[in-house]
A and B are shown apart, each in its own frame.
Chain A
Amino acid sequence: MNAPAHIYASFVFGSLLIAAGRWAPAANAAPPPAAKAAAATPAPSAAAAAPPCEACHGAHGEGMAAAQVPRIAGQSADYLRKQLDDYADGTRSNAIMANFAKALSAQQRAKFAARYAAMSAPYTAQAKPLNAVLLARGHQLAYQGDESKRVQACNGCHGPDGVGVPHAAPYLAGQSAEFLASALKAFQDGTRKNDAGQLMRSVAARLDDADIAAVTGYFASVDLSTH
């Protein structure tokens, strides 16, 4: 856990300087030109002034697995907007994201959410796929749950094979295992607590490290383009 977090921090702070040079998130008045452009053409052009999201979340919202940065392309706009709002008001804590989110108006946050919700990014295979035993365990947790741990199936809320249920639950399918594991850990230790009804905290508390490796690796293995 510690190593990737460290990579994440150093990487992002490095990028931040670059990003800030191109487009300052603290600009307080008009919506950023990039966001306006995005409304018309969801796929950003490398040449155009890009918002800082790209630096970490990628040009297509594909995320950065090694740094636990989530894939956000095609994620539900409601979910993304809620996360940005939660970063802005401190309900979800992350120093980097809080900086950006606080600098944006509610309207701008909604626009960014919509922009990434409209994107698509090709599936990225995992660097280290799971072995068959863990994959089977991950599939079991996704589809069925585990009565001995009182854990219900992930798919019950996150949709068939974790495709997500807009308005309610984010997709897990194709998300990086590294990000998913960091999220589950954050729910476990209470550093993330913006889940309605403590639903994710309740589930995460009952998973052990092997379960987390299995279920996050399983969802990372699901390539939605083949569905």
Chain B
Amino acid sequence: MVQRLKEVDVVVIGVGMVGSIVAKELAAAGYKVVGLERGQARFTVPEFQSPAIHDELRFDVRKALMQDNTREPVTFRNQGSQVALPVRRWESFLPGTGLGGSMVHWNGQTYRFQANDFQLASRTRERYGKSFLDPDVTIQDWGVTYDDLEPHYDRFEYLLGTSGKAGNIKGQIQAGGDPHESPRSREYPTPPQKEHFQGALFRKAANSLGYHPFPQPSSNLSQPYTNPEGMKLNACVFCGFCERYACEHYAKSVPQTIILPVLLANPNFELRTGCQVQRINLDSTKKHATGVTYIDAVGREFEQPASLVITSTFAINNVRMLLLSGIGTPYDPATGQGVVGRNYAYQTMSTVASFFDEDVIINPFMASGASGTLINDFAGDNFDHSGLGFIGGAFIGAVNTNGRPIQYHPVPPGTPNWGKGWKQAVVKHYNHTVMFSLHGSSVAQRQNYCDLDPTYRDAWGQPLLRITFDFPPNDIKMAAHVTAKAVEIGKAMGAKQVAGNPRKGPYTVTQYQTTHNTGGTVMGDNPNTSVVNRYLQSWDVPNVFVIGASNYPQNASWNPTGTLGALTYWAIDALTNKYLKNPGRLVPA
């Protein structure tokens, strides 16, 4: 028996970073907002306190903060000819669950994409010609420009208090920052975090090769900060437990520290946790949403009517929500028709390990999730790709985030995988190794997509999301090229041995790479190649907005969160200043 609840103005599905920010703004504007969160409520005190929060077995190995894949996994395959199987243990990527969403366990790496990224297809054609790309590559422009988003990037960074050094303020290159960045309107809210020793080694070597090292922009703060919402954050203590963990110190910018207390204090907002949304309900025309149906923690089914539905779940779950709700045409890779699930992309991660003698003490555990030093000289389109046969790139950085004992064991190639030889190598190299991360872009490709699995269902009886993905040849070439450059930096640091590990196919879902899943509800100017318009409004059901990294037409060389924050404020601007004043299509279809 479905219980029908009183209608509200707005339902927000997923109370993570996006959901918290959107709900806060709409509740403050006077709308009645209900936030439905499938996980539990949790706060810095008591849930994130040590020593429990530093339990590496629980959080790193057993993924305690992640989506419960005994009840709600995804299925995966590399190619359409294969049978996808459920991912029973998260490894490659780690979608979070619970109040605050995946941001609770993020590293705090807070980048902007570059102007070029938002017009990737047109600028690639302009610079390299129409036939430069593999015909299977389906990159496209975003429908928004960097200039559209700049004020919203700025607002997001000031919400977080991000610690960094500007490289370009209004066109003026700033010493010590990233000279490749697109112009920002002002300096970061707080100065960079302290540079660790591996960062200093990297900086020196990168400078000697003529590159442009800069401090990683970090939302683990370098000093106390009060954000525009009045939330006070502390300085980070470099404990090395950011990614996969929650911060105990109010030092990492997550919904709990930057905005949730303000949202929860607003009587226009109601948070309901333990609520698994089954679908967005449509009326008989299929062009108008009437609300959502959800099942609560004790199994009761509710219909929550609403005038406006915002789905702000983790990227791949946004895709699934639309597919389960029948919103938009599912993508068919055979014909290239349809949009929902199209242009699923990821991140192309490579590594370089530089092994030093035992008199070089690295202390890898003295780190935050974003206290590294990096270069953008080989990221995006910051270098000439003529003749290289690929687009995109990667940042290269000594950005290692931790030295946690279970998970961090750098050993040189040729080391046995277990036993005495492995143990001796771990002891020998643990404190004398610098790991570079090469954080690479990911082009969209025709064969990579998401749809509903024909076989496997979740604990509520709904089809699982099926991901079909392998690394595009474009990205494998990119990884090889950039890794060779990074090996040169490792050698310039004076390492005894430098081991490059360029990303190679096939993609494996059983090895951690990154949680930067993008695409599937792509934004754009053309309803035939996008799910939402430039304001993140569904082309098909105008009172549904979809906000997530699922909006990215392809993924750029940087961590996606900064851009998602900018898109969130961009969408809020459209909602409050356009849509809610006059509900309807913001862009003619």
Contacts and interface: CB of A to CB of B under 8 A. Distances in A.
Contacts of A145: 44-46, 49
A197 B45 contact: no
A143 B248 CA distance: 12
A144 interface: yes
B241 to A, nearest CB: 11
A144 B234 contact: no
A151 interface: yes
A152 B237 contact: no
Interface of B: 43-46, 49-51, 222-224, 232, 234-237, 248-250, 257
Nearest to B247: A152
A199 interface: yes
Interface residues of A, number: 20
Interface of chain B: mostly helix, strand, loop or mixed: loop
Contact of A147 (B44, B224, B232): B44
B264 to A, nearest CB: 11
B586 to A, nearest CB: 38
Contacts of A198: 223-224, 234-235
B235 A197 contact: yes
A152 B234 CA distance: 10
B232 A150 contact: yes
A152 B47 CA distance: 11
7 contacts: A147-B46, A153-B50, A155-B50, A157-B237, A197-B223, A199-B237, A199-B249
Contacts of A143: 49
Given A150-B250, A197-B223, A202-B224, A156 B50 contact: yes
A223 interface: no
A203 B249 CA distance: 10
Interface in A146-183: 146-147, 150-153, 155-157, 160
Interface in A192-207: 196-199, 201-203
Contact of B49 (A144, A160, A201): A144
Given A145-B49, A153-B248, 7 more contacts: A145-B44, A145-B45, A145-B46, A152-B49, A155-B50, A156-B49, A203-B234
A156 B248 contact: yes
A69 to B, nearest CB: 28
Interface in A58-84: none
A124 B224 CA distance: 36
Contacts of B49: 143-145, 152-153, 156
B193 to A, nearest CB: 10
A199 B221 CA distance: 12
A152 B249 contact: yes
Nearest to B48: A152
Nearest to B234: A202
Interface string A124-156: 000000000000000000011111001111011
A25 B392 CA distance: 66
A152 B51 contact: no
A220 to B, nearest CB: 22
A144 B45 contact: yes
Interface string A184-227: 00000000000011110111000000000000000000000000
B46 A199 contact: no
Nearest to B231: A150
B44 A150 contact: yes
Contacts of A144: 45-46, 49
B516 to A, nearest CB: 29
A29 B51 CA distance: 47
A152 B44 contact: yes
A134 B237 CA distance: 29
Contact of B234 (A146, A155, A199): A199
Contacts of A156: 49-50, 248-249
A90 to B, nearest CB: 21
Nearest to B47: A147
B45 A202 contact: no
A10 B45 CA distance: 43
A143 B51 CA distance: 9
Given A160-B51, A198-B224, A153 B235 contact: no
A155 B49 CA distance: 9
B528 to A, nearest CB: 49
A87 B432 CA distance: 35
Contacts of B249: 152, 156, 199
Contacts of B222: 197
A151 B236 contact: no
Contacts of A199: 234-235, 237, 249
Contact of B236 (A153, A155, A197, A201): A197
Nearest to A151: B45
A135 B303 CA distance: 48
A143 B46 CA distance: 9
A163 to B, nearest CB: 12
A150 B51 CA distance: 18
A169 to B, nearest CB: 9
Contacts of B44: 145, 147, 150, 152
Given A198-B223, A198-B224, A152 B45 contact: yes
Contacts of A155: 50-51
A146 B232 contact: no
Nearest to A146: B45
A102 B45 CA distance: 42
Contacts of A152: 44-45, 49, 234, 248-250
A143 B53 CA distance: 13
A35 to B, nearest CB: 29
A22 B236 CA distance: 45
B104 to A, nearest CB: 15
Nearest to A155: B50
Contacts of B51: 155, 160
Contacts of B236: 197
A197 B224 CA distance: 7
B43 A147 contact: yes
Tell me which of A153, A160, A198 has the highest count of chain B C-beta atoms within 10 A of its own C-beta.
A153
A147 B257 CA distance: 10
A137 to B, nearest CB: 14
Given A144-B45, A197-B223, A202 B232 contact: yes
A151 B257 CA distance: 12
B51 to A, nearest CB: 7
A67 to B, nearest CB: 31
Nearest to A203: B234
Nearest to B261: A150
Nearest to A150: B250
Tell me which of B45, B46, B49, B237 has the highest count of chain A C-beta atoms within 10 A of its own C-beta.
B45
B47 to A, nearest CB: 9
Contacts of A150: 44, 232, 250, 257
Nearest to A206: B232
A156 B315 CA distance: 33
10 residue pairs, one from A and one from B, having the closest CB atoms: A197-B235, A147-B45, A145-B45, A156-B50, A202-B234, A153-B49, A147-B43, A144-B46, A156-B248, A202-B224
A157 B50 CA distance: 9
A145 B44 CA distance: 9
A143 B49 CA distance: 8
B64 to A, nearest CB: 18
B188 to A, nearest CB: 17
Given A146-B45, A152-B45, A153-B248, A197 B50 contact: no
Contacts of A157: 237
